[in-house]
Amino acid sequence: MMGEPKVMQAVRFLAPRRPFALQAVAVPEPGAGQVRLRVKACGICRTELHLRDGLLDLGRRDFTVGHEIAGIIDQVGPGVSSDRIGERVVVYYYDGCGRCSYCNEGQEQLCPDPAAQPGFTTDGGYAEYLVVRARNCVLVPDTVSLAEIAPMGCAGSTAVHAGRLAALRPGEWAVVYGVGGVGNALIQYAKACGARVVAIGLGDERLALARSLGSDETIDASAVPDVAGHVGSLTGEGADVVFELVGTSDTMRQSVSMLRRRGRIVLVGYTAQDLQVHPIELIVREAKLMGSVGSTLQDLHEVVDLVARGIITSFVGRSLPLERFAEGLEALETQTCLGRVVLEM
């Protein structure tokens, strides 16, 4: 088509343990069942650091990173109604095979052979344009900005998914260990479920934000020598649920220690470190240890609704243009930005 851009800027993952590179690549065209987005916002997630550092290696090379993507549909492929052009959407980043038992149940985050995973194995949202499957584009109400909804595509939907796996009940004590993007959304989700929340993090500013989002209690892990003991004294017996979002050996150990009988731990965060636990600690308390990865498409629909209704607030700390992505990654790594860093295109 005349006048349309043929190349665009994109931030590319080349290989593990190499910095991302801003490169000119071809503007993609939507295939059957797909749409093209003019990307407007893309959140910066810790997963990008894990990819860059080689901690997460899914075997693919040379693709555009970024999976917290919001934009406007500007072109549709065969089989997609042109009515969708102009829709403001946030992207569900799992595109399952559509044939396995997990996909059949809507658990595409568990699909062993996904067709695409924007920002993980296929081109993602640190770019001006992106092609994705039409059904993976979730409509965003006009009252919600694309910059605020972008991080909810991962941080928010991951929080809702973890919260659902934990099956939180009113009155339970939920510990949110780690107050980044997922943690801030989880505090609000747990409160909406009627739970009482203890947020654990580092520094006054972050914990003040956690309280403003509804956390009943906060613990500064840098100032309290016995974090698990402190949770015990706040809750009586211990936590009903611990959401572990940090993933160091130390924080995982403490999470086991702070659990009450029949308590549940949901592991979300990870580092290169191991979890070491003596089975007797789990056995005598009939504790449950579970993992939580990403989200379902339905979780994303739910978080968009929760944001639109003001039940979850997405906290954007800084907005940067695409070409300044490295500054955003550094702010996340050094924890110098309160709230999510979002690239805006």
Tell me how far the alpha carbon of residue 165 is from its chain's centroid: 15
Burial group, residue 136, by CB count within 10 angstroms (0-12, 13-18, 19+): buried
Q: Which DSSP string do the residues of 112-156 spell out, in sequence order?
A: SS-SB-BBTTB--SSBSEEEEEGGGEEE--TTS-HHHHGGGGTHH
Relative orientation angle of helices 155-166 and 181-192, to the nearest 10 degrees: 50
Phi-psi region of 178 (alpha: psi -120 to 50; beta: other; left: phi over 0): left
How near is the Cβ of 110 to Zn ion at its closest, in Å?
8
* Residue choice 27, 72, 100, 338 for contact with Zn ion (CB under 5 A): 100
Smaller CB separation from Zn ion, 54 or 98 = 98
* Residue choice 45, 175, 207, 289 for contact with Zn ion (CB under 5 A): 45
Smaller CB separation from Zn ion, 103 or 231 = 103
Could you tell me the CA-to-CA distances from 82 to 5, 73, 141, 207, 208 in Å, in that order?
Answer: 20, 10, 19, 46, 46
**Residue 328 touching Zn ion (CB under 5 A):** no
Smaller CB separation from Zn ion, 53 or 250 = 53
From 19-27, 39-47, 281-289, 330-338, span contacting Zn ion (CB under 5 A): 39-47
**Residue 85 touching Zn ion (CB under 5 A):** no
From 54-62, 147-155, 188-196, 197-205, span contacting Zn ion (CB under 5 A): 147-155
Q: Is 162 within 8 Å of 292 (Cβ atoms)?
A: yes
* Residue choice 14, 15, 58, 97 for contact with Zn ion (CB under 5 A): 97
Cβ contacts of 274 within 8 Å, gap of 6 or more: 249
**Residue 154 touching Zn ion (CB under 5 A):** yes
From 9-17, 107-115, 188-196, 199-207, span contacting Zn ion (CB under 5 A): 107-115
Task: Please provide residue 121's backbone torsions phi and psi, each rounded to the nearest 5 degrees.
Answer: -130, -20
**Residue 293 touching Zn ion (CB under 5 A):** no
Q: What span, in angstroms and rounded, lies between the C-alpha atoms of 324 and 24?
A: 15
Task: Please provide residue 33's backbone torsions phi and psi, each rounded to the nearest 5 degrees.
Answer: 75, 5
From 1-9, 45-53, 220-228, 231-239, span contacting Zn ion (CB under 5 A): 45-53
**Residue 103 touching Zn ion (CB under 5 A):** yes
Query: For residues 108-127, which are near Zn ion according to CB under 5 A?
Result: 111
From 47-55, 167-175, 241-249, 291-299, span contacting Zn ion (CB under 5 A): 47-55
Task: Please provide residue 184's backbone torsions phi and psi, each rounded to the nearest 5 degrees.
Answer: -65, -40
Q: Is 344 within 8 Å of 43 (Cβ atoms)?
A: no
Smaller CB separation from Zn ion, 15 or 97 = 97
Q: Is 308 within 8 Å of 141 (Cβ atoms)?
A: yes
Smaller CB separation from Zn ion, 100 or 282 = 100
How near is the Cβ of 45 to Zn ion at its closest, in Å?
3
Smaller CB separation from Zn ion, 70 or 228 = 70
Instruction: Catalog residues that contact Zn ion under the rule CB under 5 A.
Output: 45, 47, 96-97, 100, 103, 111, 154
